[in-house]
Amino acid sequence: MKTKIIKSIIFALAIIISAGILGNAYKSRVKHISTVQVKGKADKEIHSDIARWDLMFSVNSPDLKSAYEKTQANTDIVLNFLKQNGLDDNEIRVSGIDINKTYETVKVQVGEDYEYKNKFTGYRLLRSFYIETKKLDTINKLVSEISTLIAQNIEIISQNPEYYYSKLDSVKHDLIEKASQDAIERAKKIAKSNNQKIGKIKSANIAPFQVTGIYSNEDYTWGGVLNTSDIIKNCSVTVTMEVEIK
């Protein structure tokens, strides 16, 4: 009977000791796992392949009929200017006519006092042209020659052209992959310098994309940058990772 009791005690002690050893081993293993934060970056030069350009003109006249006739005549002149310089019909969108009444402030005597009133003077008609094309050289030429319309007594207002890259989403996907790999390689170098290896990726964060003019001095912003004024741009992204080191 005593022998059985002794054996039971020994067995129980063995279990307790084993559990303690395993527990210490686990604690030791956990203790040697730490994390490191690394940043990876990737960038690529891109050349815009789409141009957008907006322009508009206005016509002023004391009566609506003559204002409309002048608007139609100016519309034909502008369209001829655009087409003769290389644009097609499907690259030009013409807006409707925006009609506004015009007034001038006049001083009117009322008894011994004076009042200021608005006096109707006529109409101001506006028409806009929206252009989207892949002919970037054509747009640059048109912008430089817009003064020929002013010489024809057309009150033209030209916006600065905007330039875009149609495959930007595809570039972004590639850059995320490259920036992520760059971050992992940095983590490996840190681990190697301490005779360790990397483990799991605990977290990853992609910063907003920065698309800046390649020859500009634009600063990066927290919300990202999308340059539309330059034809040649640089697209970059930064990925921040927290990686296990063990």
More confident residue, 216 or 83: 83
Task: Specify if 134 maps to a domain.
Answer: yes
Task: Specify if 21 maps to a domain.
Answer: no
CATH number where 233 lies: 3.30.110.170
Residue 16: predicted pLDDT: 41
Query: pLDDT category, 120, cuts 50, 70, 90?
Result: very high
Show the tokens assigned to 1: 């009977």
* Together in a domain, 106 and 148: yes
* Together in a domain, 43 and 67: no
Long-range contacts of 115-120 (CB under 8 A, 24+ apart): none
- The vertex-199 CA angle with 196 and 203, nearest 5°, equals 130
For 2-11, 92-101, 145-154, 219-228, which range has the lowest pLDDT when averaged over its residues?
A: 2-11
User: Whole domain around residue 71: which residue ranges?
Assistant: 50-164
Please check the confidence at residue 55 and state whether its pLDDT lies above 80.
yes
Residue 32: predicted pLDDT: 59
At residue 51, what is the residue type? A
Mean pLDDT on 35-55: 97
User: 0.85 cut: is pTM over it?
Assistant: no
Residue 27: predicted pLDDT: 44
Give the count of domains, the chain.
2
Please check the confidence at residue 24 and state whether its pLDDT lies above 50.
no
Domain end, chosen from 147, 164, 181, is at 164
Residue 107: predicted pLDDT: 85
* Together in a domain, 141 and 229: no
- Rounded Cα distance, 20 and 186, in Å: 38
